[in-house]
Structure 1
Amino acid sequence: MDATTPARPGTGTAPRGRNPRGQGERLRTEIIDAALRMLDELADDQALSLRAVAREVGIAATSVYIHFADRDALVLAALERCYSDLLRAVDDAESATTDPVAALRARTTLLGAWSREHPGLYKVLHESTLIRRRDMSFRDEMGQRMAAAIRRCMDAGLAAPGDPETVALDLRTAVHGAVSLRLNQPELPWPPLEEQMDRFLVKLVGVPPLAR
């Protein structure tokens, strides 16, 4: 289980003790942890309530309002943390190799795998009504880093020449489409996600296929 989904406390957990003075940030982190777990289970930010989050943490609801003005503010903070953790995981996967194509493949594969393992968070990140109400520009960083990874492949002569930003947008569209359809139409005869990700890389980016 990764940093975006901390272990869920057992049922019947005793109320949480008051944080020592100066540890308010620790409580804020625990509230965000709880919100991430619950969003992954609910797959709907509208179904989340601050009172339910407070019960999950073992605190009074008023303690949540000290850190977050409303549900949208908490969900936004949780998603921003989620994206930060995901960016770090993707960068770590990419940095494990010096080959630009292998790095791009690792980045794309991890994104697909994460979306499959966290369908609830995926839906909130990409399909929630929060997107229309609040600024979520922190999500732009993922596309920028993918474009940079594609540019490195192009500069090394390992991918078809072109505009990396456009190719990155095409690739992200394909990856997110594949994940979304899997979530919403699981009955279709889906091929292994990793194989489909590789076909996207070959067809859209122009890199050599993965040797099998």
Structure 2
Amino acid sequence: MDATSSSPARGRNRRGQGELLRREIIDATLRMLNELGDDEALSLRAVAREVGIAATSVYIHFADRDELVSAALEQCAADLLRDQAQPVDGDPVAQLRARLVFLGAWVRDNGGLYKVLHESSINQRMHLAFKDELNSATVVAVQRCMDAGLAPADDAAAVALDLRAAVHGAVSLRVNEPGTAFPPLEEQVDRFLIKLVGVRL
């Protein structure tokens, strides 16, 4: 759907349903950001039209576009963390690999959101603190491999940073160069795990 197209007017929320409307606004924002791939291309009026409400109703929940985009990306990060969650008693290497492969699969369907989450101008204007939790989850996953003796003992934070840089580079290339033929991401992830983390697959 075109981000500027109109949507039919929605009925008023019943009393006490303001939080439901807030979530509808966030969900619409996530859909539109995925289509646009650029937070600056989003307008609050367009979001209001998408939801079927007056623009003033958006301002009740969000002071400006940055606050709305930040809230939407925070929800996106929380969803990613939930969907990547692994049981603590599984194979640490397999779980780390699954996290990275899942990210690649998610980016295939959400390339625009990925660009906003990691490459957009809001990253320069605001500190998106919720992204720290995404990063910390990778550190914990790498540390579990080391603690289990499945990777050489090292600075888990430094190794995780190298791993994240490699994986994000791989998925970013796929988003920004869709016409280029790349090897399967799973193969690259395996090489990153072997060379950067030191695991055996």
Report the residue type matching 1:159 in the other structure: A
Task: Give the corresponding residue for 2:50.
Answer: 56
Q: Which whole-Å CA distance do the structure 2 matches of 1:36 and 1:12 have between them?
A: 17
Task: Give the corresponding residue for 2:149.
Answer: 157
Task: Give the corresponding residue for 2:96.
Answer: 104
Report how many aligned residue pairs link the two structures.
Answer: 198
Call closer, same or farther: CA 1:35–1:41 in 2, change over 3 Å.
Answer: same
CA shift at 1:97, angstroms? 6.4
Task: Give the corresponding residue for 1:180.
Answer: 172
Higher RCO structure, 1 or 2 (CA under 8 Å, sep 6+): 2
CA shift at 1:12, angstroms? 7.2
C-alpha root-mean-square deviation of aligned residues, in Å? Answer: 1.7
Taking the TM superposition and a 5 Å limit, the aligned residue runs for 1:47-126 are 47-91=41-85, 94-95=86-87, 98-126=90-118
Preserved CA contact (<8 Å) 2:93 2:199: yes
One of 37, 42, 45 as aligned partner of 1:43: 37
Task: Give the corresponding residue for 1:14.
Answer: 8
Preserved CA contact (<8 Å) 1:112 1:193: yes
Unpaired segments of 5 or more residues in structure 1?
1-10
One of 185, 195, 202 as aligned partner of 2:194: 202
One of 110, 133, 147 as aligned partner of 1:141: 133
Secondary structure (helix, strand or coil) at the match of 1:188 reads: coil
Q: Which whole-Å CA distance do the structure 2 matches of 1:183 and 1:44 have between them?
A: 13
Report the residue type matching 1:44 in the other structure: D
Call closer, same or farther: CA 1:113–1:97 in 2, change over 3 Å.
Answer: farther
Preserved CA contact (<8 Å) 1:101 1:158: yes
Q: Which whole-Å CA distance do the structure 1 matches of 2:6 and 2:129 have between them?
A: 38
State the Cα deviation string for residues 175-198 of structure 1 (Å, max 9, x = none): 000011112223333001111111
Report the residue type matching 2:72 in the other structure: A
Secondary structure (helix, strand or coil) at the match of 1:103 reads: helix
Preserved CA contact (<8 Å) 1:97 1:103: no
Report the residue type matching 1:24 in the other structure: G
- The percent identity for this pair of structures is 65
One of 22, 26, 32 as aligned partner of 1:28: 22
Preserved CA contact (<8 Å) 2:104 2:171: yes
Q: Which whole-Å CA distance do the structure 1 matches of 2:84 and 2:27 have between them?
A: 20
Q: Which whole-Å CA distance do the structure 1 matches of 2:71 and 2:132 have between them?
A: 16
